[in-house]
A = this chain, B = another copy of it.
Amino acid sequence: MNEKFYSLKKEKQDTMINGAMEVFAKSGYRHASTDEMVRVCGVSKGLWFHYFENKAGLYSFVASYALKYAMLEFNMRTMKEGMDYFDVRYDMEVCKTIMMNKYPYLPLFLISIAKEDDEEVAEVLRDPLSRYKEDMSELMQSADYGKLLDHEDHVLLADMVDHTIDALMTEGYRTAVFPKERYLDSVRKHLRALKRLL
C-alpha cells in the first residue's frame, strides 16, 4: 500500500501529507473528516482510499511519517554533544519552525498525536510513538544538565518545559499565520527564566 503512495510525484505526496496533517492536527483522529481534506488540499475523496485502506491506515501512515521526519530533522539540526540543556531545547524549537516551511502543521500534529486517545488508532500509534519518545529522550540525555543532578527533579523539570512549550506552540496556531519570531521569543524567555532559578 505504501509503495503505491511512494511512487507518486513527491510534490503530490506532500500535498496529501500536508492536507492530512492539517485536518488531523486541528480536529484529532475521530473528528477529522475526509471531506475537509478534500477541501484543504483539493485531492478527491476517492483518492485517499485508493492509497490508504481506510482512515485509520491513513492516520497511521501520516503519524509515523511525521514522527520519523521530525526525529530525523532533530538529529541532523540540533545537538552538539555536551551542549547546554536549555540551548538544546531552544534549538529544537528553531528546528520546528524550519520544518514548518515544508510541513506547516507538523509541530501541531506532533502535539496532537501525543494527546490522541481514540481506541481505533491507539494500538497502531503505540510503537512509533514510543520509539519517538525513546529517541527524543536519548537525544536529550547527551545534553549537559549542569546543576540538575538529582534524578526525579530532572524528569519533572523536563516535563514542565515540554508542557509549557507545547502550550505556546498550540497558542501560536490560533492566529491565521503562525508567528514564528514571536513564538521563538516567548520560548527563549521562558527558558531563561527557568535557567536563572538554578
Contacts and interface: CB of A to CB of B under 8 A. Distances in A.
A194 B164 contact: no
Interface residues of A, number: 21
- Copies of this chain, how many? 4
A191 B101 CA distance: 40
Nearest to A30: B31
Contacts of A194: 153, 156
Interface of A is mostly: helix
A190 B118 CA distance: 28
A193 B156 contact: yes
Contacts of A28: 28
A152 interface: yes
Contact of A153 (B118, B163, B193): B193
Given A30-B31, A31-B30, A156 B150 contact: no
Contact of A163 (B152, B160, B197): B160
Contact of A193 (B152, B167, B189, B190): B152
Contacts of A150: 193, 196-197
Interface of A: 28, 30-31, 115, 118, 150, 152-153, 156-157, 159-160, 163-164, 167, 189-190, 193-194, 196-197
A36 to B, nearest CB: 12
A194 B153 CA distance: 6
A35 B132 CA distance: 36
A129 to B, nearest CB: 15
B159 A164 contact: yes
Given A152-B189, A156-B190, A160-B160, 13 more contacts: A28-B28, A30-B31, A31-B118, A150-B196, A152-B190, A153-B193, A153-B194, A156-B164, A156-B193, A157-B197, A159-B163, A159-B164, A160-B163
